[in-house]
Amino acid sequence: MISIEAIKNNYFPDHLSALRHSEYEFLFRDTIDFILAQHKLITNELPDDPLTDLLLPHAYHPNFIIDPETANHAQYESYLSQYFPLERPSKPETRIIKHPEEETDLVRILFQKFTPLKYEKIIERQKMLTLEQKENILNQYFTGHQSYPELDFLSYTFETAVNFLELEQLKTNNFQAFITLPVNPTFGYHTPEKIVNSGLLSTYVMTMKRSLDAFSKISGDLSTYACYLLPLAFQHKVIFTININQLLGLNSSVVADLWPLVKTATPTIYHNLQKSKQNYAPQ
């Protein structure tokens, strides 16, 4: 994270040059000053707590720069808005939007690997199986193997919202596909439990409100740059596709929210992984 001194001495790095000498320059400076003052106040109360960085604005995180691709995204989003003229963005919940049919997809994959049948014959045989037979096939598979590379073929697509620090952690993992939407106030912001318990909640909320007020004034003319004022606590919507083996190794605070969704979508796979003697038990 860039130092506070560097932030104070460098209000407008090259990627924010459009704000310099604009009608919003004073508002930008004044809002940043306010945010940093509140960050200092909370940091003094919670020294050495990395969560206090959630109050720092996106403008000065070294990894947050609106590149041409992001700007193109904003333009395309504006274009698509004609098809949803009355819709407003909503705060995304963590949910599973696509998942395999375990009794169909995994059984088919097992037939493909462990039988010499052609694909068309496999589909025919599979359709003839009862649900009980399919469950027996899956249970026998999990009981008789030490590892499960076949699970790499089963993909789950999740949607959730994370703050920027969580997003940076999430990006260090392996995914089959990963999409990030630009930060948007509608997605809400994260409030650490420690902030609530420390008696600093009103200061924290006031900081978010001040940044939102400035965002609303700047976004009309300079929408591409307005998000730089939002503290890192504001959330980004992410959509990612991942297989079970990748999910088992996922290093992220969101992982605890994903396994209950896997349990609901594919209970046989979930429960067999829990019973496995290997390091496959979902955490």
What are the sequence ranges of the domains in the chain? 4-92+188-234, 101-153+265-275
Q: What are phi and psi of 67, to 5 degrees?
A: -90, 175
In sequence order, the β-bridge partners of residue 180 are 238
Q: Quick: pLDDT tens for 65-104.
A: 766 555 555 555 555 556 555 445 556 789 999 999 888 8
Contacts of 125 (CB under 8 A, 6+ apart): 111, 117
Per-residue pLDDT band for 8 (boundaries 50, 70, 90) equals low
Contact 71, 231 (CB under 8 A): no
Q: Using the predicted structure, report yes or no on whether residue 24 has a pLDDT greater than 80.
A: yes
**Predicted pLDDT at 231:** 95
Tokens representing 111 are 């037939």
- Amino acid in position 187: F
pLDDT digit string, tens, across residues 162-197: 999 999 999 999 999 999 888 888 889 999 989 999
Q: For residue 49, what are the contacts with CB-CB under 8 A and spacing of at least 6?
A: 43, 194
Residue with tokens 């992984």: 273
Q: Is 28 left (phi over 0), alpha (psi -120 to 50) or beta?
A: alpha
Q: For 212-247, what is each residue's pLDDT tens digit?
A: 999 999 887 777 788 889 999 999 999 999 999 899
Helices and strands (H, E) in the chain, number of each type: 12, 4
Separation between Cα atoms, residue 125 and residue 87, nearest integer Å: 46
